[in-house]
């Protein structure tokens, strides 16, 4: 059983302008001792997804419409705030994006570090204080004894970020949700923080969900990657596949936009356009307006189902009609496991029903094996 299982999560925000469909059927799993990187541009739902896990979405305006979030086998969504408080800051911790608004401005750093330890661990105040000083030191903060007595407004942005990281790590959680934890830090401190997270994982088998825009940073720490776009997961794969054989057109453009030290310098490719307005989400593929591989009606009218890709790589899934049974088009690039042939020449993976949140339902699954034979009936994708 995975440590964290998010299944068919839908989150809407009710605003004056109407209903924003921020999360639309997200499925994610994080295994024990695994680092899952979550990438995607601003507004694609990365932060809302992890705030849902923590039960920290303000309702209203947020509403979890359906889905489940299971941590260690326990569904978190029905839990009360009191029940969640036993888990938050103990087994599950979060590094927030904005330390200034997440740290308490009227409590000293020391008190904010000591409180979760005393609340969740059988430890004396003096031992907790000692551990807090150690943690600040581990996070690269010079003179940690002095910082223990200071307040958030007395620290620089980078220092506040490191205090936030120390707070999240101090209880040695089973699951750490890190929302762009290194964005405000210079590269030296960034490297220290990545080392610290690796140490934590090695020592305590901590699993990490690492949200970032920075592909080189995530490649340093993640085992698997989930690529999000417009409130959906459009591709999940190993970190190796992200760089060697990305499949979704959006993922391909993201990976092409990483500067290379080899070859002739030139302009990096740009993904024209912007993410769709989720007040009025498109009927079909959310990437259709920007997609260089767009191939007609099926892309504009049917949400592509999550499709496991047949091949040598486990756990590679993609949501794009180039890989479903609804389109005759084939990816114009080699697909892992298909050799030089296009995926359609050798058969495709199973197409799962999009209306089912991409998790598959008995009787609707349509599977083609690598030799191209269909193993049972069904259409795979659905209109939503």
Q: DSSP for 292-303, please give it.
A: TT--SHHHHHSP
Q: Which of 10, 174, 232, 321 binds ligand SF4 (CB under 6 A)?
A: 321
285 in contact with ligand SF4 (CB under 6 A): yes
Which residue number, 92 or 326, has a Cβ lying nearer to ligand SF4? Answer: 326
User: Measured between alpha carbons, how far is residue 54 from residues 41, 69, 119, 176, 360 in Å?
Assistant: 22, 10, 18, 11, 26
Least distance between ligand SF4 and beta carbon 294 (Å):
4
Q: DSSP for 146-210, please give it.
A: HHHT--GGGS-HHHHHHHHHHHHHTT--SEEEEESTTTTS-HHHHHHHHHHHHHHHHHH--EEEE
36 in contact with ligand SF4 (CB under 6 A): no
Which residue number, 117 or 285, has a Cβ lying nearer to ligand SF4? Answer: 285
Q: Which of 95, 291, 305, 354 binds ligand SF4 (CB under 6 A)?
A: 291
With contacts defined by CB under 6 A, name the span among 21-29, 69-77, 183-191, 294-302 that binds ligand SF4.
294-302
Q: How many residues bind ligand SF4 (CB under 6 A)?
A: 13
Q: What angle do CA 244, 28, 289 make, to 5 degrees?
A: 65
322 in contact with ligand SF4 (CB under 6 A): yes
Which residue number, 157 or 296, has a Cβ lying nearer to ligand SF4? Answer: 296
Which residue number, 30 or 298, has a Cβ lying nearer to ligand SF4? Answer: 298
Q: Give me Rg for the CA atoms of the chain.
A: 22
Strands 62-71 and 74-75: antiparallel
In angstroms, how far is the first alpha carbon of the chain from the final one?
30
Q: Which of 287, 307, 309, 357 binds ligand SF4 (CB under 6 A)?
A: 287
Q: What share of the chain is helix, strand, coil (3-state, %, to 5)?
A: 30, 20, 45
167 in contact with ligand SF4 (CB under 6 A): no
Instruction: Output 299-302 pairs: Cβ under 8 A, ≥24 positions apart.
Output: 299/327, 301/383, 302/326, 302/354, 302/381, 302/382, 302/383
Least distance between ligand SF4 and beta carbon 149 (Å):
53
249 in contact with ligand SF4 (CB under 6 A): yes
Phi, psi torsion values for 242, nearest 5 degrees = -60, -40
357 in contact with ligand SF4 (CB under 6 A): no
Which residue number, 33 or 293, has a Cβ lying nearer to ligand SF4? Answer: 293
* Dihedral over Cα of 109, 218, 227, 208: its sign: negative
381 in contact with ligand SF4 (CB under 6 A): no
288 in contact with ligand SF4 (CB under 6 A): yes
Compute the distance between CA of residue 122 and CA of residue 254 in angstroms, rounded to an integer. 46
Compute the distance between CA of residue 332 and CA of residue 218 in angstroms, rounded to an integer. 27
Least distance between ligand SF4 and beta carbon 242 (Å):
16
347 in contact with ligand SF4 (CB under 6 A): no
Q: Which of 19, 198, 213, 294 binds ligand SF4 (CB under 6 A)?
A: 294
Which residue number, 211 or 320, has a Cβ lying nearer to ligand SF4? Answer: 320
Which residue number, 35 or 298, has a Cβ lying nearer to ligand SF4? Answer: 298
Positions touching ligand SF4 (CB under 6 A) are: 249, 285, 287-288, 291, 293-295, 299, 304, 320-322
């Amino acid at each position: 059983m995975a440590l964290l299982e998010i299944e068919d999560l839908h989150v809407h925000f009710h605003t004056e302008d109407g209903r924003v469909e921020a999360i639309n059927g997200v499925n994610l799993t994080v295994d024990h001792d695994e680092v899952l990187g979550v990438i995607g541009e601003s507004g694609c739902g990365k932060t809302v997804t992890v705030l849902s896990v923590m039960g920290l979405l303000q309702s209203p305006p947020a509403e979890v419409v359906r889905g489940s979030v299971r941590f260690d086998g326990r569904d978190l969504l029905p839990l009360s705030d009191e029940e969640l408080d036993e888990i938050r800051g103990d087994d599950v911790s979060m590094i927030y994006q904005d330390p200034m608004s997440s740290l308490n401005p009227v409590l000293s750093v020391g008190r904010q570090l000591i409180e979760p330890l005393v609340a969740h661990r059988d430890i004396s105040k003096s031992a907790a204080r000692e551990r807090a000083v150690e943690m600040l030191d581990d996070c690269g903060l010079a003179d940690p004894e002095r910082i223990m007595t200071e307040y958030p407004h007395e620290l620089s942005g980078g220092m506040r970020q490191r205090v936030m990281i120390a707070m999240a790590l101090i209880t040695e959680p089973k699951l750490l949700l890190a929302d762009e934890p290194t964005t405000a830090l210079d590269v030296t401190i960034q490297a220290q923080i990545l080392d610290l997270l690796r140490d934590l994982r090695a020592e305590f088998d901590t699993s990490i969900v690492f949200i970032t825009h920075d592909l080189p940073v995530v490649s340093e720490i993640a085992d698997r990657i989930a690529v999000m776009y417009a409130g959906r997961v459009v591709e999940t794969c190993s970190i190796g596949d992200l760089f060697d054989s990305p499949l979704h057109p959006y993922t391909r453009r993201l990976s092409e936009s990483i500067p290379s030290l080899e070859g002739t310098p030139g302009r990096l490719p740009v993904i024209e356009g912007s993410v769709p307005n989720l007040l009025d989400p498109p009927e079909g593929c959310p990437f259709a307006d920007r997609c260089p591989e767009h191939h007609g009606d099926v892309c504009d009218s049917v949400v592509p189902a999550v499709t496991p890709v047949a091949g040598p790589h486990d756990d590679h899934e993609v949501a794009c009609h180039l890989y479903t049974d609804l389109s005759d088009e084939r990816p114009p690039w080699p697909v892992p496991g298909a050799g030089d042939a296009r995926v359609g020449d050798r058969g495709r993976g199973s197409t799962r029903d999009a209306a089912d949140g991409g998790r598959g339902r008995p009787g609707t699954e349509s599977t083609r094996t690598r030799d191209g034979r269909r193993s049972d009936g069904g259409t795979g994708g659905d209109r939503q």
